[in-house]
Amino acid sequence: MERPIVTFLGPAASFSHQAAVEFFGKSAELLPRLSFADAFAAVQQGEADYAIIPCENSTNGSVVQTLDLLADPNNLYQDVAVCGVHYLTVHHCLLARRGVCTGQQDYESVAKLYTHPQAWGQCESFLGNYFKGIERQDVSSTSRAAEIVSKGKSEKSAAIASRFAAELHGLLVLEENIEDKNDNRTRFLVLRNIKSKHTALHLFRDMNNCTMQELPAYTPVAKKTLVSFMVRQDTPGALAEALLIFKSYGMNLTSINSRPSRKKTWQYVFLVECQTAGSIGDSRAAIDILGDLQSVTETCRHWGTWTE
C-alpha cells in the first residue's frame, strides 16, 4: 500500500504536526502548510490525501479559522470531507534564547511574546501573573513563534509553544505546563479527499494502536456527523424548524456554530455536529436529514460522519 500524504498546519513542530504523528504514526508522508486554507486546498486539489486540522480547544473554544473554511461560502472545497477525529493533550511552554532571562520566573527583560492566537486564551493565568502589559504578537502557529524567537538575535522575546518546538529550534524551556488547565485538549478533524483512491479504503477509529495496514474493522459505535446549512432570512422560525429535523432522527446536537455567509449581510452558515449510538448515526441517516433540510434551508451539506 502506498503511503498516504497528510498535510497539517506547519511549520514542523507545531501541535498540528504532533497530532499528525500521533494519529498516522510512521505510515504517512507528512506535508506542512503555512495556513489552514492551504491545508484545505491541498486536500481539495489532490496534493494530499488527508489533512489534520484543529477545530476546538477545551479551554479556549472553537478555532474560527477552521469554522470559516467549513462554512465554505464559495464552494471551494466540494471534494473535502471529515472522516476522523483526534484529541491531543496540549502542554504549553515558555521558550526563549539563552541569556534572555537570568532565571526561572525572572522575566523582566522579555519585551515581546509570540504565539498562535489560540494559545493566549489557554494560558491567561500565567500571562496575567508574569506578563501584564507585555506586547503580544499573533503568528500563524506556535512552532512559527518558536522559530521567530530563535532567529531574533537582537530582540528580547519569548514564545509560547511546545517542548517539541523548543528542541527543534534550540530554545530554552523557561516554564513548562503554563496552560490554565492540566486537561487542556485540542480536537482535530481529519479531512480526506473523497475522490482519492487511498482514502476510500480507510475507516478510522483508533490510529494510536494500529498502522495504516492494520486498520480496525467497522463496528456500530457512537458516531458524529457534521452538517452545514444556511436558512432563509425572511422565514420566521426557520432555524428552529431546521434543528427540529435532527431531533426527529434521534440526533443529539453536540455543537452549533455560525459564521457569516458572505453572501448577504447578517446571514449565517450554521455548522451543526450531532451524535447518536448505533446504525442511525451512519451516512444513510445523514442523507435522509439533508433531504429534509433542503425544504427549509437555502443550502445544506453533509461534511462527513465519523467514529468518535
Position 234 confidence tier, pLDDT thresholds 50, 70, 90 = confident
For residues 266 and 199, what is the distance between their CA atoms, to the nearest angstrom?
Answer: 37
Nearest CA among 88, 74, 47 for reference residue 191 = 47
* Domain residue extents for the chain: 5-89+184-211, 93-175, 223-307
Q: How far apart are CA 252 and CA 197, in angstroms?
A: 32
- Model confidence at 118: pLDDT above 70: yes
Q: Which residue has 500563524 as its cell numbers?
A: 140
3-state secondary structure 82-108: EEEEEEEECCCEEEECCCCCCECCECC
In this prediction, residue 195 carries a pLDDT of 86
- Cα–Cα distance list, 247 to 32, 68, 149, 180, 300 (Å): 40, 26, 50, 36, 17
Residues 5-89+184-211: name the CATH superfamily. Answer: Periplasmic binding protein-like II (3.40.190.10)
Q: Does pLDDT of 196 surpass 90?
A: no
pLDDT above 50 (res 213): no
CATH number of the domain located at residue range(s) 93-175 in this protein: 3.40.190.10
Measured CA to CA, the distance from residue 132 to residue 52 in angstroms comes to 34
Three cell numbers written together for 149: 524567537
Peptide bond into 11 cis (omega under 30): yes
Torsion from C-alpha of 206, 208, 213, 219, nearest 10 degrees: -10
Residue 275 pLDDT greater than 90, yes or no: no
Please state which of the ranges 103-112, 249-258, 281-290 shows the lowest mean pLDDT.
Answer: 281-290
User: If pLDDT is split at 50, 70 and 90, which confidence band does 299 have?
Assistant: very high
CATH of 223-307, one of 3.40.640.10, 3.30.70.260, 1.10.3430.10, 3.50.50.60: 3.30.70.260
> What pLDDT shows up at residue 205?
39
Q: How far is it, in rounded angstroms, from Cα 10 to Cα 167? A: 16
Fold match flag (93-175 vs 223-307): no
